[in-house]
Chain A
Amino acid sequence: MLAKRIIPCLDVDKGRVVKGKKFQNIQDVADPVELAKRYNEAGADELVFYDITASNEERDIFLDVVENVAKEIAIPFTVGGGIRTVDDIHKVLRSGADKVSINSAAVQNPEIIKEAALKFGSQCIVLSIDAKEVAANNWLVYINGGRKNTGIDAIEWAKRGENLGAGEIVINAIDADGEKNGYNIALTKAIADAVNIPIVASGGAGTIQHFADVLTEGAADAALAASVFHYEEISIPELKNYLESEAITVRSEIEWK
């Protein structure tokens, strides 16, 4: 059976992993390669690296970090942040990333999804959506690290992304991000119901129960989290044992060292 995935997310700034609360008050935590190794050994199913400042400050993706991570780990990983062109995607994939996540650039130029999916295959093109609830069950897409409201309906955008050829959607609830009060179940479920591609829930993980909730009620295929893993508040083996006890299918194998 296909397992639900647990995905630690590493926000990278100038080659270091950082974690901010609502994208503010960023604190330095670790070396991305070391953290990637640690998560791989703990049984993470996948990793995500976001170059969090790239969108605003026009930074290049850290291709050497990507390559060093690929050398050290034998699980899939996604790279995002500041991806604007098909050439950016090409470079990241050639450096050893398996998937590329596109956020602001896709809103500004939706054709990039189509072009990239045709060239590299849908399976490596992830549409990342930052959404904020503006009225009850009404979520709008924000870009540039959650700073700019696009006025686009998040569910419509997810459907369009699927039609353009995205192979997966990461849905990040801006209001929940960093709060540790749980994922936004309603938003995740609304997106999962609207499309037929895998959904990764992001933003708000604080307890192991939050993961169970979003993978069942939220209908997510995977759950992404950062600080609860970085600060070792939740261990991946403990989390997976709990999910298994709740009859959620997870990959239980210990990673190869």
Chain B
Amino acid sequence: MIAIIDYGAGNIKSLQFALDKLKLESELTTDPQFIRDAKSIILPGVGAFKDAMDALNELDLVSVLKQEISAGKPILGICLGMQLFYEQGFEDGSWEGLGFLKGSVNRITDSVKVPHMGWNTLTQHQDSSLLHNLTDNPSVYFVHSYAVGGNLEKDTLVASAQYGGTIPAIVKKGNIVGMQFHPEKSGKTGIQLLKNYGGLIS
């Protein structure tokens, strides 16, 4: 069972439909015990950095997430969910993140249109089972105005996209996986990426 943290107002139904197609059982939840019992956690992306951290704090989920992650439970962060894994976010101010990964979340340069919206190609940085069985030059759907940067640990970068610079697209450190794009909205490639993540947790 995958616990999808239901802490906001965005579209998380599509994620659940995609997991259903892959026969990966999931449930939307904010229940700490359910999260402890699940074999994996997905932190989806909704709204703004501060609001999302506030919501996790209000639901008293920050300590649960920290405990489960340090115990080695696989977690997938999608879009803003991935950004929350970092130490600090600079979306409308400066806010503390979950701090699972080193780095910060900064606005995409204004030399390109912001948000970064649409299908962009992935460039592979290292061999990873997360990238198995993809087509050549796989495209995935991005929609975000902020991106991960700062003092990233280089060996956590699995794939990136080019948009006004290098945008970290897939990151992985041990049991922690982040996808900046929306795999549930990225057609065949996205479904394969979710399947590959499913392979890590079964």
Residues of B within 8 A of A168 (CB): 115, 117
Q: How far is the CA of A4 from the CA of B113 in the complex (A)?
A: 13
- Of B13, B114, B121, chain A has the most CB atoms within 10 Å of the CB of B13
Confirm or deny: B116 has a beta carbon within 8 angstroms of a beta carbon on chain A: yes
Confirm or deny: B94 has a beta carbon within 8 angstroms of a beta carbon on chain A: no
B9 engages A2 (CB within 8 Å):
no
Confirm or deny: A115 has a beta carbon within 8 angstroms of a beta carbon on chain B: no
The minimal Cβ–Cβ distance linking A69 to chain B, given in whole angstroms, is 10
Residues of B within 8 A of A222 (CB): 118
B118 engages A198 (CB within 8 Å):
yes
Contact of B187 among A2, A5, A98, A253 (CB under 8 A): A253
CB-CB contacts below 8 Å: B35-93 with A? 46-48, 51, 80
A118 engages B48 (CB within 8 Å):
yes
Which range holds the interface residue count of chain B? Answer: 35 or more
Confirm or deny: B144 has a beta carbon within 8 angstroms of a beta carbon on chain A: yes
Residue of B nearest to A93 (CB): B11
Confirm or deny: B126 has a beta carbon within 8 angstroms of a beta carbon on chain A: no
The minimal Cβ–Cβ distance linking B176 to chain A, given in whole angstroms, is 23
Confirm or deny: B157 has a beta carbon within 8 angstroms of a beta carbon on chain A: no
Confirm or deny: B149 has a beta carbon within 8 angstroms of a beta carbon on chain A: no
Q: Would you call the interface of chain A mostly helix, strand, loop, or mixed?
A: loop
A5 engages B118 (CB within 8 Å):
yes
Q: How far is the CA of A75 from the CA of B117 in the complex (A)?
A: 13
Q: How far is the CA of A225 from the CA of B141 in the complex (A)?
A: 20
Q: How far is the CA of A196 from the CA of B13 in the complex (A)?
A: 30
Q: Contacts A74-B187, A96-B17: A2 and B118 contacting too (C-beta < 8 A)?
A: yes
B184 engages A253 (CB within 8 Å):
no
Confirm or deny: A88 has a beta carbon within 8 angstroms of a beta carbon on chain B: no
Residues of B within 8 A of A121 (CB): 10, 46-48, 80
Confirm or deny: A156 has a beta carbon within 8 angstroms of a beta carbon on chain B: no
Which range holds the interface residue count of chain A? Answer: 35 or more
B119 engages A5 (CB within 8 Å):
yes
Confirm or deny: A32 has a beta carbon within 8 angstroms of a beta carbon on chain B: no
Q: Contacts A2-B118, A196-B114, A251-B119: A76 and B9 contacting too (C-beta < 8 A)?
A: no
Confirm or deny: A177 has a beta carbon within 8 angstroms of a beta carbon on chain B: no
Q: Contacts A118-B48, A196-B110: A255 and B188 contacting too (C-beta < 8 A)?
A: yes
Residues of B within 8 A of A148 (CB): none
B48 engages A197 (CB within 8 Å):
no
Residue of A nearest to B164 (CB): A2
- Of B48, B113, B117, B145, chain A has the most CB atoms within 10 Å of the CB of B117
B18 engages A123 (CB within 8 Å):
no
Contact of B190 among A67, A74, A95, A197 (CB under 8 A): A74
Residue of B nearest to A91 (CB): B9
A196 engages B9 (CB within 8 Å):
no
Residues of A within 8 A of B185 (CB): 74-76, 98
Residues of A within 8 A of B51 (CB): 119
A75 engages B187 (CB within 8 Å):
yes
A 113-155 to B, binary, CB cutoff 8 A, 1 in contact else 0: 0000011111110000000000000000000000000000000
B118 engages A3 (CB within 8 Å):
yes
CB-CB contacts below 8 Å: B85-123 with A? 110, 113-121
Residues of A within 8 A of B182 (CB): 76, 98
Confirm or deny: A256 has a beta carbon within 8 angstroms of a beta carbon on chain B: yes
Residues of B within 8 A of A67 (CB): 13
Confirm or deny: B189 has a beta carbon within 8 angstroms of a beta carbon on chain A: yes
A 1-36 to B, binary, CB cutoff 8 A, 1 in contact else 0: 111110000000000000000000000000000000
Interface residues of A (CB under 8 A from B): 1-5, 40, 45, 67, 70-71, 74-76, 90, 93-98, 118-124, 167-168, 196-198, 221-222, 251, 253-256
Q: List 18 A-B contacts (CB under 8 A).
A: A5-B119, A45-B119, A70-B14, A74-B186, A74-B190, A75-B186, A76-B182, A98-B11, A123-B117, A124-B11, A167-B145, A168-B117, A222-B118, A253-B138, A253-B139, A255-B187, A256-B187, A256-B191
Task: Give 8 nearest A-B pairs by CB, closest first.
Answer: A256-B188, A96-B13, A251-B119, A123-B143, A3-B119, A251-B139, A76-B185, A2-B120
